[in-house]
A = this chain, B = another copy of it.
Amino acid sequence: MSEREKAIGVFDSGVGGLTVFREMMKQMPKERLIFFGDTARVPYGSKSKETVTQYSRQIIRFLKSQSVKAIVIACNTASALALDDIEKETDIPIIGVVKPGAVSASKKTRNGKIGLIGTEATISSGVYERLLHEMDGRFRIIGKACPLFVPLVEEGLIDDPVTTEIAGRYLADLIDSDIDTLIMGCTHYPLIKDTIKKVVGEKVELVNPAYETALECLEMLKEKDITNDREIELGETPYRFFVSDEAEKFKTIANMILPYGILGAKKIAIEEY
């Protein structure tokens, strides 16, 4: 298999990263994709930089054993905490979701007041803030950790008064700060974007890093001249899914996010990588 024909590896702490995977399917239909969800150790958002970096290293070793040509970290926490260190150690191109999200926000904002919501680990890492300040020192970033959003989404309370109430509390300070742009800095959040939009109002533009990340990945492949140009052959399955815990539950949630039913996911002993 030539370099071009190799798959792109995509990973997340669990299933949320499939929102990025879905965008990649849409924007680069000729590419083979491999997804790994660390469902045995999910979530990453409340864990330390050291632990998240160690887990990310193991996953990258696994993805490389599947001979991928590039890696996308489809998890805000791992992108925020681990990408800087891991980038230096990895000999294939690797991108995260943080930078594409920050670039998009920097283009959308008019008043320079940018809201950021994400996990505790993402917010306290200060990575979005650092990147945005490198682009323009006048940007003001107002961050807020929203630890209940992921469990609310996973409990299916997508359009529910409880989610609206919690969103109202989390977002009050951001609205008071007069933000005009809000980065949804966690891959689960686009699933409740209607509720978030209702709470922050029409004037605030939402940034979904999943879309921007798929776009950046495509640009990177073009720049390195490793896009796949051949059509996927009839009968070949271009998408493969791996998890660290039982595959059944993953399939159920995956089939809610992806536009088609997935046939199976393979369980991997990720600790051994």
Chain A: residues with CB nearer than 8 A to chain B?
A: 39-42, 46-48, 50-51, 147-148, 151-152, 154-155, 162, 165-166, 244-246, 249, 271
| Closest residue on chain B to residue A146 by CB atoms | B155
In the assembled complex, the CB of A81 is this many whole angstroms from the nearest CB of chain B, namely: 12
In the assembled complex, the CB of A42 is this many whole angstroms from the nearest CB of chain B, namely: 8
Q: Bound state CA distance, A245 and B81, in angstroms? A: 14
B residues within 8 A CB of A155? 147-148
| Closest residue on chain B to residue A55 by CB atoms | B40
| Closest residue on chain B to residue A150 by CB atoms | B151
Can you list 15 contacts pairing A with B, beta carbon distance less than 8 Å? A39-B47, A41-B41, A42-B46, A47-B245, A48-B246, A50-B246, A51-B245, A147-B154, A147-B155, A148-B148, A148-B151, A148-B152, A151-B151, A162-B165, A162-B166
B residues within 8 A CB of A165? 162
In the assembled complex, the CB of A118 is this many whole angstroms from the nearest CB of chain B, namely: 15
- CB pair B151–A51 under 8 Å, yes or no, is no
Copies of this chain, tallied across the complex: 2
Which secondary structure dominates chain A's binding surface? loop
Across the A-B interface, give the 9 residue pairs with the lowest CB-CB distance, nearest first: A48-B246, A151-B151, A40-B51, A51-B245, A41-B41, A271-B271, A47-B245, A48-B245, A148-B151
- CB pair A246–B51 under 8 Å, yes or no, is yes
Q: Bound state CA distance, A47 and B155, in angstroms? A: 15
Q: Bound state CA distance, A42 and B45, in angstroms? A: 11
B residues within 8 A CB of A166? 162
B residues within 8 A CB of A48? 245-246, 249
